A and B are shown apart, each in its own frame.
Chain A
Amino acid sequence: MASYSITVNNKKFTVDADPAMPLLWVLRDILDLTGTKYGCGVNDCGACTVLINGSARRSCQIAIASCVEQQITTVEGLSEDLTHPIQKAWEKVGVPQCGYCQSGQMMVLAGLLNKNKKPTEQQVNEVMSANLCRCGTYHRIRQAVHLAIEEINSTN
């Protein structure tokens, strides 16, 4: 066990954890930030996607020891009132069914758009296809992705 000081959604936290403990379980079991979901734990589904310094990363694959002095953003940090353009797009389209995978879906798109505000269709396909949705909301995710891209490019 060791003590780690981490920054999540612009707030500082000190957590006592095994250095190898994945960020996912620190967020969920220690910090009670349960918007980040456990889907597989082995990098297969993307449900646990968060932003680290603005890049989409799978929190099940990142040990807490490597999170110190990094800026971590979870779905709770997008906005609390649906003002983030990605949340807005997801709301407008009414994407979710069960909703379990949707924080990961939004976070992976946020990571892509942080890097590239005008991704090609192929870049979008590549990134979004790594995040799974069992309810099959892909048709709506696609609509929301395009809406979010439009919105982000019109406001900036």
Chain B
Amino acid sequence: MKIVSVDRRQFIKVTSLSGAGLMIGILLPGIKSFAQNTPDCEFFQPNAFLRIDKKGDVTIFVARQEMGQGVNTSLPIIVADEMDADWKKVKVEIAPYGTLPEGSHDTGGSQSILLDYTQLRKAGAIAKAMLIAAAAAKWKIKPEQCAADNGSVVNTINMLTIPYAELVCEAAALPVPAEVSLKSPKDFKLIGKEQKKSNLKDILTGKAKYGIDIKIPGMVYASVERCPVLGGKLISVDDTEAKKVAGFIKLVTYEGTGSPMQVRPGVAVVATNYWSAMEARKLLKIKWDEGSKNKESTEQLFKNFEARATSAPAFEKYKKGDISKLKITSLNSIISNYSAPFLAHATMEPINFIAEVKGDKCELWGGLQLPDWTVGEIIKQFGFKKENIKVNLALIGGGFGRRLHFEFAIETINIAKQLDKPVKMICDRTDDIRFDNFRPANYHRMQASWDTNGKLQSWDHHLQTTSIAITHDPATKDPSENLGGAMEDFYYDVPNVHTGYTHQDFNITRGWLRSVEICVNVFPIECFVDEVALKLKKDPYQFRLSMLEGREMFKVGEGPGAMKQYPQRIADVLKLAAEKIGYDQPRMKNHFIGLATHSFIFAKSYAAHAIEIEILAPKKFRIKRVVAAIDCGLVINPDGLRNQMEGGIAFALQQALKGEITIQNSRVAEDGFSTYELLTYEEMPPVEIYTINSTEEPGGVGEVGLPTVAPALCNALAAAGYRPRTLPIRKEGFQWVV
């Protein structure tokens, strides 16, 4: 028996059996204990992931949070394929919180498919094995003489079939098997086939219920005025005028709390409807003590970055060779600085949450990407017992990492515990933008040197930013973001590499935004490698390939957490993107192509972009085409993959062209979509998505389509003679037309 360590899942035993796929031991916590069967045979539920009822409907419970990334389709496909269910009979529900082991609901880092692939297959295989056993008993044949197909068990001797619906009672009475076999990938029927979103009909008929749509009997509504400066305090509030608004119920105040979620002090107006709450809030007269950190600005922060850029980084992230021994002069090296601003999530569903507190019990409704951490903090802050907290997870109207943070849940409980009714707190759009957990501003000093043959001999990258980790834990020993990032896993073959990180304090809450540090680092890396190529009068495409192709896999990090870097796969997506955009073909006049590639190492996926632009005047351009190439291993749902990659282009173009959060007097200047502009319909360029055919284990997709978009665009502009080094590029005077 071979023990295979599947990432973060040490409990899976894998045995290889010749010709029979895999045998996987069932050591999955939670699966057995949540087998539910009813005496009247209403349904058969062998584990927490699926249930078959007497009509033959298969309900698949999805533990990961759906927020547009498509886990409510891709994860059920995995279960349904393995159990040979009829996809038309599959219904999808959110797995109730508490029915699965801790961590099962966590949704982030493009990890859902990576983490769940094997256990979901196993969940489906268990059901199938039990249904087959039930049918075999009926037919008085051996289970090996049965097969399963499209929602029925087949007797392979006489080819008779019994639908799963008719086996519910018998299957439910059987013991859950100790071992099951998994399909050989060549027998997949659903995996790899296009499927539309499982809740598509609900979305298009207005029936889909997001957190903001949930209504609890007796529920009231809250609109909250938060302290404008982080670290400030409430001095006084006068609600004389606010009370006169029809529907006003109560004014509630609460204090701020620090890490991890940096809840600001709040003044909440509670009313019978949300509009009344907002109207009454406008009439409040509030005095805040802003504290001492009320004069900070992004302008100053970037000046501080600039001033600190040439000093040694506070934290060494990666070192290879010894740059100090090289002879680096102005003749054999270049230095460039790149920067990018704070960014907001700006999900279309504004942040909202529902809480009800009854004595020592608390019930919650809403979207949470990390519900276990949320519950843990609620226990710490409010003293509820874990068993007295009920969480009802909801569909999320855009995640992008926003609901990895949960200050809104703490706020809503602060309000609810002063009421005798459930309360729905909704952020208006200005609240949603201003009190976000911002992707940190960042500044990069890059230096590269080459030898007499024009081969890169050193690469030095100093990232300065304001740490997310310190927002969550001011005492943290290493404030640098720890999921790899493009600095620790620098993929080009350069003999001497030095990367480092410096944190600068700044009084605003930082958080994770889709692609986090991968976007932060890949932008300067992929622009700078291009810049070096142009400086050396080399073709940027061939220059990259010369440092990737044929290079062996290397490990990033040590021990069980080590990740694998495959430079060849990074080269392969680049080649695919270059081929599809016609990089080697003659170009039209004033047309230029930029490329960028990368590995999204912890999602085990690789992506490259090629962007063709047309220059209309100096620094004025039109995006003609965006080509994306991705290698995410085995593809579960090609339609979902393309949707994510298409959307990733839009999300990343917004960051490249115009997305920026600025801070003045420790306050966010932007207040909505007119000042924090999103990409629009007419700005969306033609896009094409290409996938590497692969049988490698399935990787993540949601974040992988972002990091190479901005550098590919900037490299196209550089090919035309205008090298942007600041995002959004409109800060450098670039203009685009549709």
Q: How far apart sit A109 and B213, CA to CA, in the bound complex (Å)?
A: 23
CB pair A141 B681 closer than 8 Å:
yes
Residues of B within 8 A of A44 (CB): 429, 672-674
Tell me what chain A mostly uses at the interface: helix, strand, loop, or mixed: loop
In chain B, what residue has the closest Cβ to A127? B681
Binding site for B on A (CB under 8 A): 1, 18, 21-22, 25, 28-30, 32-42, 44-45, 47, 74-76, 78-82, 87, 90-91, 94, 96-103, 106, 125-126, 128-142
Nearest Cβ on chain B to A122's Cβ, whole angstroms: 9
Q: How far apart sit A112 and B299, CA to CA, in the bound complex (Å)?
A: 43
In chain A, what residue has the closest Cβ to B424? A29
Nearest Cβ on chain B to A135's Cβ, whole angstroms: 5
23 interchain pairs, CB-CB under 8 A: A18-B246, A30-B273, A34-B215, A38-B212, A39-B350, A45-B673, A76-B207, A79-B205, A81-B205, A91-B200, A91-B204, A97-B643, A97-B647, A99-B204, A99-B397, A132-B678, A133-B650, A134-B400, A136-B648, A137-B646, A139-B686, A139-B687, A141-B681
In chain B, what residue has the closest Cβ to A25? B275
A125 CB contact (under 8 Å) in B204, B274, B738: B738
Residues of B within 8 A of A129 (CB): 680-683
CB pair B684 A139 closer than 8 Å:
yes
A138 CB contact (under 8 Å) in B639, B650, B674: B650
Q: How far apart sit A126 and B683, CA to CA, in the bound complex (Å)?
A: 11
The verdict on B203 contacting chain A, using a C-beta distance below 8 Å, is yes
Nearest Cβ on chain B to A90's Cβ, whole angstroms: 5
Known A-B contacts A29-B221, A37-B349, A136-B647; the reply to A97 vs B69 at CB < 8 A is: yes
Nearest Cβ on chain B to A63's Cβ, whole angstroms: 10
In chain A, what residue has the closest Cβ to B686? A139
CB pair A98 B684 closer than 8 Å:
no
Nearest Cβ on chain B to A85's Cβ, whole angstroms: 12
Q: How far apart sit A91 and B398, CA to CA, in the bound complex (Å)?
A: 19
Residues of B within 8 A of A25 (CB): 273-275
10 additional A-B residue pairs with CB within 8 Å, beyond A25-B274, A38-B274, A41-B429: A37-B349, A39-B349, A41-B278, A42-B674, A87-B205, A98-B347, A100-B349, A129-B681, A134-B346, A136-B647
Known A-B contacts A136-B649, A140-B646; the reply to A98 vs B672 at CB < 8 A is: no
Residues of B within 8 A of A82 (CB): 201, 204-205
CB pair B674 A1 closer than 8 Å:
no
As a 0/1 sequence over residues 661 to 705 of chain B, the CB contacts with chain A under 8 angstroms (1 = contact) are: 000000000001110001111111011000000000000000000
Q: How far apart sit A94 and B642, CA to CA, in the bound complex (Å)?
A: 11
In chain A, what residue has the closest Cβ to B346? A134
The verdict on B209 contacting chain A, using a C-beta distance below 8 Å, is yes
CB pair B429 A37 closer than 8 Å:
no
Nearest Cβ on chain B to A40's Cβ, whole angstroms: 4
The verdict on B70 contacting chain A, using a C-beta distance below 8 Å, is yes
The verdict on B426 contacting chain A, using a C-beta distance below 8 Å, is yes
The verdict on B210 contacting chain A, using a C-beta distance below 8 Å, is yes
CB pair B398 A80 closer than 8 Å:
no
Residues of A within 8 A of B680 (CB): 129-130, 132, 138
As a 0/1 sequence over residues 242 to 254 of chain B, the CB contacts with chain A under 8 angstroms (1 = contact) are: 0000110000000
Known A-B contacts A100-B349, A137-B647, A138-B650; the reply to A75 vs B200 at CB < 8 A is: no
A98 CB contact (under 8 Å) in B67, B673, B686: B67
The verdict on B93 contacting chain A, using a C-beta distance below 8 Å, is no
CB pair B275 A21 closer than 8 Å:
yes
B681 CB contact (under 8 Å) in A37, A40, A76, A142: A142
Known A-B contacts A94-B639, A96-B204, A98-B67; the reply to A125 vs B679 at CB < 8 A is: no
